[in-house]
Amino acid sequence: MFYQDKIDKELRFGDVLEGFIFLTSLSIREPKMFKKCSLNIEIPKYCVLITPCCSIHNKILTICPLKKVRNTFFGNPYFKENLTNINRLMEPKNVLPPYKWVTLTQEQKENRLRVGMTFAFLELFIYEKSSFFEECEVNIKNEENIKTSYYMIDFRDTYKVDCLKLSNFEEELINLKHLQLSIETRSELRNKISDYYFRAPEEDEILED
C-alpha cells in the first residue's frame, strides 16, 4: 500500500500538500555578481513535505514540488511495469532498458554486477497514481502517447518556506494535506533520500578506510 487510507490530523514526512509557492531558481552569472540575476517563481498544484515530523517547528517547512514524470522512464520495461520501482534498490540490469544493457562491454556489465543492488535516479522519488492527481499525457518514442497520474519529486528542488500558521497547527493548514504515505512507503522515501545525501566522494572513502 503506497498511501495510508486514513489521514492523520498532523503533518508528516512525505505528505502531499497544496497551497505553497515554489522558488524554481535563482540564477546569477557568476559568484558575487548579483546585479544581474533572475528569480523564477511557480505555484505547483501539489508539493511534498520533506521536513521530518519531529523537526517541524519554528514556523519552518522544507518542501519539494511534485512534477510530471519523464517520458524516458517508459522506455524501460522494468519501470513501465510500475514506476515506483524507481524508488527501490534494483538489480543492475534493470537500471537500463534492455537495448542499452546489451550495448555495454562485458567489463562494464561485470563492474555493474559487482556493485550489486543499486538505486536508479538517486535524486528522484516517484509518487503512485492517485485520483487527486491530474492525468498528464506522456509522449513515448515510436509508441502511442499514454496518460498517467504518476508524479515525482526531485530532491534537488527542495526548498524552505516560513509558514506563520505552522506553530498553531491550525485546521486550515491540515486541510491542505491530501495524501499521506504508508509507513512502508515513508521508510522507502527516507532510505532513498538518506542515500542521496549519504554518498561519499572517493577521496573521503580513502580517509574513512
Backbone phi, psi, residue 140, to 5°: -115, 130
Q: Report if residue 5 sits inside a domain.
A: no
65, 44 Cβ separation under 8 angstroms: yes
What pLDDT score does 117 carry? 95
158 burial (CB, 10 Å; 0-12 / 13-18 / 19+) is middle
Q: Report if residue 4 sits inside a domain.
A: no
Cell 508539493 sits on residue: 47
Q: Report if residue 153 sits inside a domain.
A: yes
In the chain, % of residues over pLDDT 70: 83
What pLDDT score does 106 carry? 95
Q: Report if residue 52 sits inside a domain.
A: yes
Question: What distance in Å separates the CA atoms of residue 58 and residue 159, rounded to the nearest whole number?
Answer: 16
Q: Which candidate, 179, 177, 161, places its Cα nearest to that of 169?
A: 177
Average of per-residue pLDDT across 178-203: 90
Which residue range is the domain that position 107 belongs to? 16-199
pLDDT over 80 (residue 109): yes
Q: What share of the chain is helix, strand, coil (3-state, %, to 5)?
A: 35, 25, 40
Average of per-residue pLDDT across 132-138: 89
pLDDT over 80 (residue 16): yes
The total number of structural domains in the chain stands at 1
pLDDT over 90 (residue 43): no
Cα dihedral 135→136→139→140 (10° resolution) = -40
What pLDDT score does 60 carry? 79
Convert the pLDDT of each residue in 49-101 to its tens digit.
Answer: 998 877 776 677 889 999 999 999 999 999 999 999 999 999 999 999 999 99
Question: What distance in Å separates the CA atoms of residue 90 and residue 83, rounded to the nearest whole number?
Answer: 13
pTM of the model: 0.87
Confidence of residue 171 (pLDDT cuts 50, 70, 90): low
Q: Report if residue 1 sits inside a domain.
A: no
What pLDDT score does 111 carry? 93
What is the pLDDT of the chain when averaged over all its residues?
86
What pLDDT score does 141 carry? 76
In the chain, % of residues over pLDDT 90: 56
56, 163 Cβ separation under 8 angstroms: no
Q: Which residue has the higher pLDDT, 14 or 160?
A: 14
For residue 111, the 8-state DSSP code is: H
Backbone phi, psi, residue 173, to 5°: -70, -45
What pLDDT score does 61 carry? 83
Residue 139: strand, helix, or coil = coil
Residues making up the chain, counted from first to last:
209
Q: Report if residue 208 sits inside a domain.
A: no
Which cell goes with 138? 506522456
Q: Report if residue 191 sits inside a domain.
A: yes
Q: Which residue has the higher pLDDT, 29 or 134?
A: 134
Q: Report if residue 92 sits inside a domain.
A: yes
Which cell goes with 81? 511495469
How many CA within 13 A on the CB side of residue 202?
A: 0
Average of per-residue pLDDT across 179-191: 97
